[in-house]
């Protein structure tokens, strides 16, 4: 994940972290905090990235990633990422990068007067290096993210065609990832400022949910509601699953008001997140513990990355 902010929201938690915690019981996992990627949009504020990286690491651990099972590290602490990125950039046709939809989206989202950088264009090449450096079986993704990994496979195929079989054909480790609707009805996102964060206090969480977008057609309590697209029902479906069907039924029948619905939602969200938030508060009080996890993770990552780079150099005939 990118440390563009120092904290992760519930979309990150439910869309990725929960799944990672499960997968670490089945696989050897590498969970990287990609600080170099963050430079594509934060080049004028690089000093924020270090602090943000610490916050993301805290959220990783609070969510349940176990450093004994998962290698947790910061991208820039493993220089092999940069070396493999450079070598991949030599074999990746420019046309491949110009066709990547996310490049166009990121370019269009730049502030007025800002120009797209070489790093922004080469973002998918660095992503391919981040993945293939550990020669993994696969990458955990939701179905909507599968196209983003295809370029990584294409780069691996081209490298293997040129220099012999060195890199794996990665698999998509698919999971049914719920799309968390943000407080304004759009997808939950840091950039939309519509998110509830793991680090939020109970009061902040309650205030945000009470202000959340519901159904503009449901003006009175007995008006039939439409849960689809409702930010509050999206939270119910994840954090109040045992009663979500009843919430939906009462909403559609006009037997439930939005205020009482929000109050029940607040209680469910806060109760569900309480253990995680308690762990987070303890970790923040002991930053040394977090930095030790990151240092040990970087050591373990470098060991694997070094083996990969030795094979890559050998395949290419480099000294």
Can you tell me the distance from the alpha carbon of 180 to that of 236, in angstroms, rounded to the nearest whole number?
11
- Exactly one of 187, 217, 262, 314 is catalytic; name it: 187
Q: In this structure, what are the phi and psi dihedrals at residue 166, rounded to the nearest 5 degrees?
A: -130, -35
Give the position of tokens 């599968």.
Answer: 146
Catalytic one of 106, 143, 221, 249: 106
Catalytic site includes residue 187: yes
**Residue bearing tokens 């370019």:** 107
- What is the Cα–Cα distance from 284 to 35, expressed in whole angstroms? 20
Which one, of 4, 17, 107, 13, lies nearest residue 65 by Cα? 17
Residue 171 β-bridge partners: 138
SS3 of 200, please? coil
CA distances from 98 to 39, 61, 109, 122, 267 (A): 19, 37, 16, 9, 47
Q: Is residue 201 within 8 Å of 266, Cβ to Cβ?
A: no
The radius of gyration of the chain from alpha carbons, rounded to an integer in Å, stands at 22
Whether residue 106 lies in the annotated active site:
yes
104 is annotated as an active-site residue: no
Catalytic residue chosen out of the listed positions 69, 143, 190, 218: 190
Catalytic residue IDs: 106, 187, 190
């Amino acid at each position: 994940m990118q440390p563009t902010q120092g904290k992760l929201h519930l979309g990150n938690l439910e869309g990725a972290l929960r799944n990672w915690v499960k997968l670490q019981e089945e696989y050897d996992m590498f969970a990287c905090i990609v600080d170099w990627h963050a430079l594509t949009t934060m080049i004028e504020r690089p000093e924020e990235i270090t602090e943000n990286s610490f916050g993301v690491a805290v959220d990783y651990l609070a969510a349940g990633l176990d450093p004994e099972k998962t290698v947790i590290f910061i991208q820039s602490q493993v220089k092999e990422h940069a070396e493999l990125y450079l070598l991949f950039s030599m074999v990746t046709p420019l046309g491949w990068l110009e066709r990547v939809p996310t490049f166009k989206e990121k370019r269009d989202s730049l502030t007025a007067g800002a120009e797209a950088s070489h790093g922004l264009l080469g973002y998918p090449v660095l992503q391919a290096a981040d993945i293939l450096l550990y020669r993994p079986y696969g990458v955990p993704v939701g179905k909507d993210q599968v196209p983003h990994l295809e370029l990584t496979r294409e780069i691996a195929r081209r490298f293997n065609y040129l220099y012999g079989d060195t890199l794996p054909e990665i698999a998509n480790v698919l999971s049914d990832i719920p799309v968390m609707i943000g407080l304004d009805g759009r997808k939950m996102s840091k950039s939309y400022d519509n998110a509830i964060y793991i680090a939020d206090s109970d009061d902040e969480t309650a205030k945000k949910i009470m202000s959340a977008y519901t159904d503009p057609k449901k003006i009175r309590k007995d008006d039939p509601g439409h849960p689809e697209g409702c930010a509050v029902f999206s939270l119910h479906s994840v954090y109040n699953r045992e009663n979500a069907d009843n919430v939906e039924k009462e909403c559609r029948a006009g037997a439930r008001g939005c205020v009482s619905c929000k109050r029940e939602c607040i209680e469910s969200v806060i109760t569900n997140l309480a253990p995680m938030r308690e762990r987070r508060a303890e970790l923040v009080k002991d930053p040394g513990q977090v930095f030790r996890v990151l240092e040990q993770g970087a050591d373990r990552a470098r060991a694997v990355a070094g083996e990969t780079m030795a094979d890559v150099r050998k395949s290419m005939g480099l000294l």
